[in-house]
Structure 1
Amino acid sequence: MSTTTSTPASGARTGGLSSDLPRAGSRGGSGAAPLKNNYSSLLQVVLFWLGAILMPTGIIVILLGYYGVANAAFDFDREAYSYSGGFLGLALTFSGGFLYFGAWLARIAEDNRESSKRLADTLLVLADVTSRSAAINDNGVDVAALPVIAGNGTTIHRRDCALIAHRDDLRPAGDTPGLTACRVCKP
Structure 2
Amino acid sequence: MSTTTTPASGARTGSLNAGALPRAGTRSGSGAAPLKNNYSQLLQLVLFWMGAILMPTGIIVILLGYYGVANAVFDFDREAYAYSGGFLGLALTFCGGFLYFGAWLARIADDNRAASKRLADTLLVLADVTSRSAALSEKGVDTSALPVVAGNGTTIHRRDCALIAHREDLAPAGDNPNLTACRVCKP
Q: Is TM (by shorter chain) over 0.5?
A: yes
SS of aligned partner of 2:149: strand
What is the one-letter code of the residue matched to 2:163?
L
Change (3 A) 1:7 1:80: farther
The 5 A counterparts of 1:147-186 are: 147-186=147-186
Equivalent residue, structure 2, for 1:127: 127
Deviations 1:26-55 (A, max 9, x none): xxxxxx7443xxxx6676456435524532
Q: Shift in Å at residue 137 of structure 1? A: 1.0
Q: Residue 10 of structure 1 aligns with which residue?
A: 20
Shift of 1:125: 0.7
RMSD of Structure 2 on Structure 1 (CA):
3.0
1:89 deviates by 0.3
C-alpha distance in 1 between matches for 2:46 and 2:166? 51
Q: Find the aligned partners of 1:168 and 1:10 in 2 and give their Cα distance.
A: 36
Q: How does 1:1-187 map to 2 (within 5 A)?
A: 8-10=18-20, 33-35=37-39, 44=44, 47-48=47-48, 50-66=50-66, 68-69=68-69, 72-187=72-187
- Name the count of aligned residue pairs: 159
Ranges in structure 1 where 5+ consecutive residues have no aligned partner: 1-5, 12-31
| CA distance in structure 1 between the partners assigned to 2:17 and 2:79 by the alignment | 64
Q: CA deviation at 1:98?
A: 2.5
Letter of the 1:84 partner, please give it: S
> Counterparts of 1:181 and 1:166 in 2: how far apart (Å)?
19
What amino acid is the match of 2:181? A
- Supply the distance in 2 between the matched residues of 1:8 and 1:74 (Cα, whole angstroms): 78
Partners of 1:156 and 1:104 in 2: how far apart? Answer: 59
Q: Which amino acid aligns with 1:10?
A: A
Secondary structure of the corresponding residue to residue 176 of structure 1: coil
In the alignment, what sits opposite 2:7?
A: none
| Aligned residue identity for 2:147 | P
2:20 alignment partner AA = S
Q: In structure 2, do the counterparts of structure 1 residues 164 and 50 end up closer, same or farther at CA, with 3 Å as the change threshold?
A: farther
Mapped to 2, the partners of 1:53 and 1:151 lie a distance apart of 77
Q: Distance in 2 between matches of 1:183 and 1:7?
A: 28
CA distance in 1, matches of 2:19, 2:54: 45
For residues 90 and 178 of structure 1, the distance between their equivalents in structure 2, rounded to whole angstroms, comes to 88
Secondary structure class of the residue paired with 1:148: strand
SS at match of 1:163: coil
Q: TM-score, normalised by structure 1?
A: 0.68
1:1-50 deviation digits (Å, cap 9, x = unpaired): xxxxx983339xxxxxxxxxxxxxxxxxxxx7443xxxx66764564355
SS of equivalent to 1:110: helix
